[in-house]
Amino acid sequence: MINIALIGTTGMVGETIRNVLEERQLPIGEVYLFASKRSAGSVVEFLGKSHTIIELTEENIASKKIDIALMSAGGSISEHYAPLLVKQGAVVIDNSSVFRMNSDVPLIVPEVNANAIGSSNLISNPNCSTIQSVLPLKVLDDLYGIKRVVYSTYQAVSGSGVAGVADLENETTFNYPYQISNNILPHIDSFEDNGYTKEEMKMIEETRKILNKPDLRVTATTVRVPIVNTHAVNINVELEKDFDVEDVKAAMANYPGITLRDDVANNIYPLAENADGKDDVFVGRIRRDFSLEHGLNLWCVADNIRKGAATNTVQIAENIIKERNL
């Protein structure tokens, strides 16, 4: 049995991690739920027991025997506490972006590159839209080789946490520069000097790292849309070799973590309502891009809080438990 710490347990992702842990029945011994001073002392039900939330402090961390720590409390918290937890002997799986591009920190989507975990005790969970995109890209890269990727994302307000949901529901602008209700914002995270947003650069850089293709040509436009949950990504891919569309569909249908919905004659394609509350990536609208010699378009949808964060984190923990016999 393993002792697990959940850090940032009261946020949207932290709550979902608890749900996923209960569903997937990991061999958990002791559970330590950490959050801010504001939430400390609150009681939550988890794994059939009442747990009192512990204030996140160095002293409280040091007093616990922690095997695996799942972190979803933001970059500054991760930057401070993750090294302390690793030094203490824990394996840390971090949802923030702070360590993702560090060369010595694996960036993991288990269906794609679980072997990259190796012996590392600090593992990063990728950006939500990157996670769902690299599953179908891995299928294509293994079969045909990928030369270039163009992302266009349609991202739900839950990607901004409870503040984003509140702006949509209340038609306010506390979290976004413009009202998101009845609107579409081509602006996620801050703009960089090159004209891209941080979110777009995350997708570009993380795709290269996860697929182990540092010179891959990738571009992205990330857009916030007025729905509560699930992200959609249109992916245009230039491949090294020619392909048969039906062969691509068959490969997608047989890949772990992908559900194929692609029967346009009957209006079957991935929708937000298909992915909401699910762990798979839903893929469809697979078709040839006739403007390129070996071009292909596809559409993928996933629950950004589950597969895009919580479920992927728990899957990494499952892999570590299995491979290290914890």
Contacts of 156 (CB under 8 A, 6+ apart): 225, 227, 228, 229, 230, 231, 272, 304
- Please name the residue that has the structure tokens 């559409």: 299
The two beta strands, 91-94 and 68-71, are: parallel
Asked whether residue 193 falls in the same domain as residue 262, the answer is yes
Express each pLDDT in 273-322 by its tens digit.
999 999 999 999 999 999 999 999 999 999 999 999 999 999 999 999 99
Q: Say what the alpha-carbon torsion angle 139, 144, 145, 151 is, to the nearest 10 degrees.
A: -60
Express each pLDDT in 92-124 by its tens digit.
999 999 999 999 999 999 999 999 999 999 999
Asked whether residue 41 falls in the same domain as residue 162, the answer is no
- Please name the residue that has the structure tokens 């991690």: 17
Asked whether residue 316 falls in the same domain as residue 290, the answer is no
Q: What is the pTM of this model?
A: 0.96
Asked whether residue 190 falls in the same domain as residue 69, the answer is no
pLDDT band per the 50, 70, 90 thresholds, residue 15: very high
- Please name the residue that has the structure tokens 């293709």: 213
Other beta carbons within 10 angstroms of residue 240's beta carbon come to 13
Q: Give the model's pLDDT for residue 291.
A: 97
Measured CA distances, 206 to 121, 147, 158, 164, 316 (Å): 19, 16, 21, 24, 17
Asked whether residue 268 falls in the same domain as residue 313, the answer is no
| Whether the Cβ atoms of residue 199 and residue 189 lie closer than 8 Å to each other | yes
Share of the chain above pLDDT 90, in %: 95
Question: What are 233's two structure tokens?
Answer: 């990504």
- The CATH number of the domain holding residue 13 is 3.40.50.720
Asked whether residue 214 falls in the same domain as residue 179, the answer is yes
Whether 231 is catalytic: yes
| Whether the Cβ atoms of residue 160 and residue 305 lie closer than 8 Å to each other | no
* CB burial readout 261-290, b (16+ within 10 A) else e: bbeeeeeebbbbebbbebbbbbbbebeebe
| Whether the Cβ atoms of residue 84 and residue 58 lie closer than 8 Å to each other | yes
- The CATH number of the domain holding residue 240 is 3.30.360.10
Express each pLDDT in 204-238 by its tens digit.
999 999 999 999 999 999 999 999 999 999 999 99
Asked whether residue 121 falls in the same domain as residue 135, the answer is no
Give the residue from 222, 258, 242, 228 showing the smallest Cα distance to 296. Answer: 242
pLDDT band per the 50, 70, 90 thresholds, residue 325: confident
Whether 300 is catalytic: no
The count of domains in the chain is 2
Asked whether residue 27 falls in the same domain as residue 151, the answer is no
Which position among 51, 128, 187, 294 bears the catalytic label? Answer: 128
Amino acid (one-letter) located at 207? T
Share of the chain above pLDDT 70, in %: 100
Q: Which segments within the chain are labelled E, that is strand?
A: 2-7, 28-35, 43-46, 49-52, 54-55, 68-71, 91-94, 122-124, 146-155, 217-224, 231-239, 258-260, 281-289, 295-302
Torsion over CA: 276, 235, 161, 258 (sign):
positive
The DSSP code for 309 is I
Express each pLDDT in 248-278 by its tens digit.
999 999 999 999 999 999 999 999 999 999 9
Express each pLDDT in 222-231 by its tens digit.
999 999 999 9
Domain containing 264 equals: 129-304
| Whether the Cβ atoms of residue 220 and residue 137 lie closer than 8 Å to each other | no
Which position among 51, 80, 187, 231 bears the catalytic label? Answer: 231
Contacts of 236 (CB under 8 A, 6+ apart): 149, 150, 152, 289, 295, 296, 297
Asked whether residue 147 falls in the same domain as residue 251, the answer is yes
Asked whether residue 139 falls in the same domain as residue 121, the answer is no
Give the residue from 162, 238, 251, 153 showing the smallest Cα distance to 202. Answer: 153
Other beta carbons within 10 angstroms of residue 301's beta carbon come to 27
Asked whether residue 243 falls in the same domain as residue 295, the answer is yes
Asked whether residue 171 falls in the same domain as residue 71, the answer is no
